[in-house]
């Protein structure tokens, strides 16, 4: 018997049981079906898709949050194309921030931000950013410190604080910095400005920060179209999809899951398999294990928190309301967090081209005031908030619907990591159980990363040994592998970084980790960022000083500040002179700022080089990159 036949026989002996029919669960079933392994998918709800479903209300389709289809993971991209093909639309992103009754483009547009915030506020933002570069807040362990160190405390308080606390319902000082690192990876004030100012000339590769992508794919009938198609494909090849089925008990014995007890249609039954994949919230999973885990594990699970979510969908008797795909609501006077304009995602989401469907999104806790409102009360509440912001003429609202989604977002509070450590250590002893997806791993993953964990779980069932916990929203996309076409040991492109640590490489990786820790301890100063910040502060100082003196007037004003004309050709105490003074001051401030940052990095790099000289090669590379 050849190797392929042996593998096929082993696969025929396998049967997988998957808890949850969201993106991760259905991806696992799809990949298993392609390998010839039957699966049973258990879904508590009556529809598939989880948080990525599309609700159909009288022909008006809306998402539970907007779902962009954007990824650099080739295996995920391939699956999307296999399933939907030409039903994907290429959409240009337009999103803005609504704050202080004004709109700000996001990603930032410099002139829009400058005029929207005003010259004085822009000066304070630049000065605050300069301070954050000279004296960052340490330790950088909370969301507020992480963001302030990259954007300055002034911009943090204006744009980040209100919205983030709406999303999570807790102060930013209680949110782990890890969430910021995942969701705003690679982005800082200067990176946002670079993205706004620099154009791709086609001669070199353009680096795109995930947060700032300006186009994406989207299914013609919403993300639910994708998962309804996957569900149809897996059931056609013999997989079982059990909707409206609630997991009651997960029976464990001898270090393995033996069966799952479910209830549905007033009946209780057991589902058996050789391998089990769970996407259900970890807190619920632990509570359903039989026999019950140790008290320490139960307490750790109880400490995991979730943020719930509800959408109020409003049908507007107007063909165009605003041009955005979505709008972030940073206005502190309303509870509304975000508005989706589904017609601008796809025209087919609305049955009548003369109307618009908006999704008003609220973040809440199950059982709180918002969650407990009746649907008609929520619709009226949402209309009043729209009216308060003067975004929509609410007399044109002709219908509405409400969808509640419990446990939409796993909370990254100060204690979640330790709780996860305890739970993972315990679950590591259950050999045929794998956790995947956002709630399944208590990780704020995007859709593509949730799918990736499911794909790797299937590879493990087929004999691989991937560490699923290395896949998250902070993971690099392994673009080098994508460019060269290289594949990992299991023929899966772009996934080499999810491999478990190879024992022979542990010493090398530890040395690299120590080098990285040293570099982080002496954080590199961004020369361009610091130079622009110093130049902006200097330029605005001269500009504002000139304006003040023009307004003040008096016979000694002109001669006093006109001395600058000896250094700044063409300068005078006039409006034109204020602009000239800004330009000269910015230029000199920029040059001195860049030189200061360069010398500071050089001296720090030399020091790092000296204390790391036992690892000359890797440290020398770090030193060269550093300056």
Given a cut of 80, whether residue 184 has pLDDT beyond it is no
Rounded to an integer, the average pLDDT of 140-162 is 84
50-92 pLDDT, tens digit each: 999 999 999 999 998 888 898 888 999 999 999 999 999 998 8
Helix (H) or strand (E) holding 322: none
Flag whether pLDDT at 399 surpasses 80: yes
The confidence band for 114, taking pLDDT boundaries of 50, 70 and 90, is low
Sign of the dihedral through C-alpha 47, 48, 53, 59: negative
Percentage of residues in the chain with pLDDT exceeding 90?
45
CATH number of 3-53+74-82+220-301+416-498: 3.50.50.60
State residue 422's pLDDT score: 97
- Maximum C-alpha span of the chain: 103
- What local confidence, expressed as pLDDT, does residue 609 receive? 62
- Indicate whether 19 pLDDT > 80: yes
> pLDDT tens across 547-591, in order?
887 777 765 555 555 566 666 777 877 888 888 888 888 888 888
List pLDDT tens digits, range 456-491.
999 999 999 999 998 864 444 333 333 334 344 333
Name which of 577, 592, 175 is nearest 156 in CA terms.
175
Strand order across the beta sheet in which 256-264 lies = 267-271, 256-264, 246-253, 289-290
Segments of the chain assigned to CATH 3.50.50.60 = 3-53+74-82+220-301+416-498
| H/E segment holding residue 606 | helix 575-611
Which of 59-68, 169-178, 511-520 tops mean pLDDT?
A: 59-68
Cα(591)–Cα(257) distance, integer angstroms: 65
Strand order of the β-sheet with 306-316 is 102-105, 95-99, 326-329, 338-341, 356-364, 306-316, 397-410
Statement: residue 185 has pLDDT above 90? no
Name which residue leads in pLDDT, 509 or 371. 371
pLDDT band with cut points at 50, 70 and 90 for residue 272: very high
Residue pointed to by tokens 């991806």? 27
Using H for helix, E for strand and C for coil, what is the string for 458-487?
Answer: HHHHCCCCCCHHHCCCCCCCCHHHHHHCCE
Helix extents (H) in 562-574: none
Cα gap 469→542, rounded to integer Å: 53
User: Contact 596/530 with Cβ under 8 angstroms?
Assistant: yes
Which of 41-45, 119-123, 353-357 comes out lowest in average pLDDT? 119-123
Ramachandran quadrant class, 620 (left: phi over 0; alpha: psi -120 to 50; beta: rest)? alpha
Residue 530 and residue 330: Cα distance in Å, rounded? Answer: 27
- Kind of pairing between the strands at 38-42 and 240-242: parallel
How far apart CA 1 and CA 4 sit, in angstroms, is 8
∠ Cα 134 136 137 (to 5°): 150
Please state, in angstroms and rounded to a whole number, the distance separating the CA atoms of residues 275 and 242.
17
Return the closest-CA partner of residue 52 out of 71, 17, 26, 28.
26
Instruction: Indicate the range of 120-124, 239-243, 617-621 predicted with least confidence.
Output: 617-621
More confident residue, 99 or 297: 297
pLDDT-derived band at 335 (thresholds 50, 70, 90) equals very high
Residues 6+ apart with CB under 8 A from 457: 28, 277, 434, 436, 466, 468
Structure-token match 């972030």, residue found? 328
pTM, full prediction: 0.74
Backbone phi, psi, residue 365, to 5°: -110, 140
The dihedral of CA 73, 75, 76, 78: what is its sign? positive
Q: How far apart are the first and last CA of the chain?
A: 60
Q: Comparing C-alpha atoms, which of 191, 157, 185, 128 is closest to residue 526?
A: 191
Among 87, 126, 116, residue whose Cα is nearest residue 221: 87
CA 288 to chain centre: 30
Contact assessment for residue 305 and residue 283, using Cβ atoms and an 8 Å cutoff: no
Helix axes 119-134, 143-151, angle to 10 degrees: 110
Taking the CA atoms of 106, 108, 109 and 112 in sequence, report the sign of the dihedral they define. Answer: positive
């Amino acid at each position: 018997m050849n190797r392929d036949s042996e593998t096929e026989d082993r696969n025929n002996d396998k049967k997988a049981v998957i808890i949850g029919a969201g993106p991760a669960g259905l991806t696992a079933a799809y990949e298993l079906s392609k390998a010839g392994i039957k699966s049973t998918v258990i879904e508590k709800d009556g529809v598939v898709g989880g948080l990525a479903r599309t609700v159909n209300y009288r022909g008006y389709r809306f998402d539970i949050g907007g779902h962009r289809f954007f990824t650099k993971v080739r295996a995920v991209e391939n699956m999307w194309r296999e399933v939907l093909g030409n039903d994907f639309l290429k959409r240009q992103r337009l999103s803005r921030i609504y704050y202080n009754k004004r709109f700000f483009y996001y990603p930032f547009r410099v002139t829009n931000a400058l005029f929207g915030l005003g010259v004085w506020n822009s000066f304070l933002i630049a000065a605050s950013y300069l301070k954050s570069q000279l004296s960052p807040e340490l330790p950088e362990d909370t969301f507020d410190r992480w963001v302030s160190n990259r954007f300055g405390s002034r911009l943090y308080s204006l744009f980040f604080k209100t919205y983030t606390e709406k999303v999570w319902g807790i102060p930013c000082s209680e949110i782990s910095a890890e969430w910021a690192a995942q969701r705003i990876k690679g982005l800082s004030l200067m990176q946002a400005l670079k993205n706004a100012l620099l154009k791709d000339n086609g001669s070199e590769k353009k680096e795109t920060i995930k947060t700032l992508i300006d186009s994406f794919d989207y299914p013609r009938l919403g993300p639910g179209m994708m998962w309804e198609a996957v569900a149809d494909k897996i059931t056609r090849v013999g997989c079982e999809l059990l909707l409206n089925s609630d997991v009651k008990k997960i029976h464990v014995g001898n270090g393995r899951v033996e069966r799952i007890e479910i209830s549905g249609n007033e009946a209780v039954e057991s589902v058996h398999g050789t391998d089990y994949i769970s996407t259900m919230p970890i807190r619920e999973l632990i509570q359903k294990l039989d026999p019950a885990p140790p008290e320490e594990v139960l307490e750790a699970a109880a400490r995991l928190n979730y943020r719930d979510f509800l959408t109020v969908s409003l049908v507007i008797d107007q063909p165009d309301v605003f041009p955005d795909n979505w709008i972030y609501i940073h206005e502190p006077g309303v509870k509304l967090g975000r508005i989706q304009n589904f017609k601008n995602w796809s025209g087919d989401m609305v049955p009548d081209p003369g109307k618009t469907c908006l999704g008003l999104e609220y973040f809440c806790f199950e059982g709180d005031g918002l969650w407990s409102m009746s649907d008609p009360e929520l619709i009226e509440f949402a209309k009043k908030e729209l009216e308060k912001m003067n975004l929509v003429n609410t007399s044109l609202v002709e219908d509405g619907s409400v969808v509640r989604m419990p446990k939409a977002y796993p909370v990254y509070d100060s204690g979640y990591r330790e709780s996860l450590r305890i739970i993972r250590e315990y679950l590591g002893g259950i050999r045929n159980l794998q956790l995947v997806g956002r709630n399944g791993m208590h990780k704020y993953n995007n859709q593509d990363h949730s799918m990736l964990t499911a794909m790797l779980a299937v590879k493990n069932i087929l004999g691989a040994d991937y560490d699923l916990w290395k896949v998250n929203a902070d993971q690099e996309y392994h673009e080098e592998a994508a460019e060269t076409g290289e594949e990992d040991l299991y023929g899966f492109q772009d996934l080499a970084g999810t491999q478990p640590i190879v024992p022979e490489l542990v010493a090398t990786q530890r040395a690299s980790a120590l080098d990285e820790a040293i570099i982080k301890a002496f954080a590199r100063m961004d020369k361009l960022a610091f130079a622009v910040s110093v130049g902006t502060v200097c330029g605005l100082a001269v500009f504002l000083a000139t304006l003040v003196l023009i307004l003040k007037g008096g016979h000694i004003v002109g001669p006093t500040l006109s001395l600058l004309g000896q250094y700044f050709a063409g300068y005078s105490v006039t409006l034109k002179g204020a602009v000239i003074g800004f330009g000269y001051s910015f230029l000199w401030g920029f040059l001195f700022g860049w030189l200061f940052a360069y010398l500071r990095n050089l001296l720090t790099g030399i020091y790092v080089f000296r204390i790391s000289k036992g690892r000359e090669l890797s440290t020398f590379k770090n030193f060269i990159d550093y300056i």
